[in-house]
Amino acid sequence: MNGLSKSHAMTGWRFGVVCGPAEIISQINKIHELATTSITSITQAAALEAYKNGLDDSIKMREEYCRRRDVLAAGLTKLGFECPDPDGAFYLFGKIPEGLEQDDVKLCFDVLEQEHLAILPGSYFGIGGEGHIRFSYASSMENIEGCIKKLGEYVATHIHTDETAI
């Protein structure tokens, strides 16, 4: 199983491939047929272009993703988020700093409402994600820098320290 989301920066296009023995593929096709209708023609054309003329694109995109990751991680660290290095995805999973709302769902909706910044609650990815936020860096550097700025404005006005609680 593979796709083009990471290798060719085609996130959201939902193009995937699977190869295997005919008896397994026939069972996969049954599930796939019931779960989806069909891949769009524009996605098919983009995938064909990627396979024909973009075989080296993944090298450039890996470098760009690393650059975006580093900028986002540095910005989040300055804001108090603890973000371990990802092992291949284009997401950072940041622990919410003390002094901010610790309910990740409430926090994300509050940030969306106040800063118009969409981030995902870590709890959406399982129990271990509670108290965390998932940040994507599969976006432009301009968007990443804007995210850090908006989140910084939110944190500055909502963080409670021992000194502010008195």
Give the chain's mean pLDDT: 90
Q: Are 77 and 152 in contact (CB under 8 A)?
A: no
Residue 156: left if φ>0, alpha if ψ -120 to 50, beta else—which one? alpha
What is the set of domains in the chain, with CATH numbers? 2-55 (no CATH), 58-165 (3.90.1150.10)
Distance CA 74, CA 145 (A): 11
Instruction: Render pLDDT for 36-72 as a digit per residue (tens, 0 to 9).
Output: 666 778 989 999 999 999 989 988 888 999 999 999 9
Per residue in 9-26, is it b (16+ CB within 10 Å) or e — as a string? bbeebebeeeeeeeeeee
Band of pLDDT at residue 131, cut at 50, 70 and 90: very high
Q: Say how many C-beta atoms besides its own lie within 10 A of residue 136's C-beta.
A: 18
Q: Pairing mode, if any, of strands 91-95 and 120-121?
A: unpaired
